[in-house]
Amino acid sequence: MVKRFDCLKLLASWLDEHALTVTSRGGNAREWAYLRPQGANFHSLNMGTCMSFAVGLALAFPKRKVIAIDSDGSLLLDTSSLVTLADVNPPNLLALVFDNQAYANMGATATARAADLAKMAQGAGVKKASTITSTEDFAAVVKPALAASELGFFVLKSESGRAQVKVDSRLIHGRPMLEHFISALLRHPDYQGKSSAGKD
Amino acid sequence: MEPETIAKIIDTLKAERIDLVVTLPEEPTSPLTETIRSDPYFTSVTVASESNGISLCAGASLGGRRCIFVTGIAGLLVGTWSLAQMGVLYGIPVLIMASYRGDIGDRSGVSGAQLFMFQQLAEPMLNTLRIPYRVIKKNDDIEREIRDSHFACREYGTPLVLLLTGEVLW
């Protein structure tokens, strides 16, 4: 088992300012916002929407690395996103799924039970998909995957519980988070979404 | 859907520089999506559920990629969760083109009870989700409606739906 906070801390140290990240709700968003307060981070996507949103972002920024930080419960709500992920196969996307095997916000209610999320991704057609169970393996596998031009999908078997970090909730929710994200996008020279300013 | 209708839609998408088309095919719009799929101008993505198609378009659109999601009323119903998240919560512009299944004039062979269900739910559902929409019945209106709607959805900051019916669809 890995500690999510330890893995995210490593990940934050590996990313440059241009990497785009997307998280699902809960501990993923809170811990990631604490560890990477700057940069283009879209936090707290609700259940079932994180992975596909990240695929879209990867299509918009083909020259940037996009990292999806999803969770088992969120992914399981829309497993069809695995088929889309494999079909689009964005080479600039790294998908991380923290799998604590529970709907953690509600306690110990189990999520996937006997299901193997990495094998589900493989079955959907994702070529590079595997399960990671230690922080050492996380460093050995994910750091090189960040540098590769190939879709990577990694399920991180993680301990339950959250790191006790203080984060301004406006950084991880709703419109204030969105404004922060767009401000970061506007600093990217390859951002195509400048306002049309009423012209076209 | 007639070839000249398809050509008009595709020409307008190109004029708007919309080059990412996401779809989950359904019968009335399948000639359009098949034509798009064979056109190298477009990046065409076929999703396995409408909800992840809408989420994908939201990510792409927020990243500045000009895109459109092509679906039907059933697809919008399936995609309500994502529409609520991307629309009501975040106000992300997502242009959607949907066949107006169940509209008066739909003789496509779907059972009457299904048609009536679509007819009863389509517009109230969009109104409930606070999603602006236009109903396009005439081929002569296609270009103007796509251009205006694409502009409006980005300026408003919201998903916006073009419902195709009448001579455009049947």
Q: How far is B31 from chain A (nearest CA, A)?
A: 21
Tell me the count of A-B CB pairs closer than 8 A: 119
B56 → closest Cβ in A48, A84, A193 = A84
B17: DSSP letter: T
Residue A199 lies in a domain: no
Contact of A80 with chain B, judged by CB distance below 8 Å, is answered with yes
CA distance A171 to chain B (A): 14
pLDDT tens string, chain A, 200 residues long: the values are 999 999 999 999 999 999 999 999 999 999 999 999 999 999 999 999 999 999 999 999 999 999 999 999 999 999 999 999 999 999 999 999 999 887 776 667 777 777 899 999 999 999 999 999 999 999 999 999 999 999 999 999 998 888 889 999 888 999 999 999 999 999 888 898 865 544 54
A chain contacts of residue B55, beta-carbon cutoff 8 Å: 45, 48-49, 52-53, 56, 81
> Residue A198's pLDDT is what?
46
Angle between helices B50-62 and A50-60 (to 10 degrees): 40
Which residue has tokens 């990046």? B43
Chain B residues touching residue A199 (CB < 8 angstroms): none
Assigned domain for A200 exists: no
pLDDT at A197: 45
* A160 and B CB contact within 8 Å: no
Which position has the higher pLDDT, B99 or A111?
B99
Residues 76-95 of B with CB under 8 A from A: 81-82, 85-86, 89-91
pLDDT digits (tens, 9 = 90+) for B22-38: 999 788 999 999 999 99
β-pair partners for A42? A22
Domain holding A8: CATH number?
3.40.50.970
Residue type present at position A137: D
Please give the tally of structural domains in chain A: 1
Collect all residues of chain B within an 8 Å Cβ-Cβ radius of residue A80. Answer: 47-49, 52
Query: What is the span of the domain harbouring residue A113?
Result: 4-186
Q: Is A52 inside any structural domain?
A: yes
Cα–Cα distance measured from residue A169 to residue A30, given in angstroms and rounded to the nearest whole number = 8
Q: Are B71 and B102 in contact (CB under 8 A)?
A: no
- Of 2.60.260.20, 3.40.50.970, 3.40.50.2300, 3.40.50.300, the CATH number of B3-168 is 3.40.50.970
Q: Is A196 inside any structural domain?
A: no
Residue B28 corresponds to which tokens in the numbers above?
A: 């009335």
What's the predicted TM-score (pTM) here? 0.96
* CA torsion through residues B29, B32, B34, B36, sign: negative
Instruction: Spell out which residues of chain A touch residue B53, defining contact as CB-CB under 8 Å.
Output: 52, 84
Residue A124 within any structural domain of the chain: yes
A185 in contact with chain B, both atoms CB, cutoff 8 A: yes
Q: Does A192 touch chain B (CB under 8 A)?
A: yes
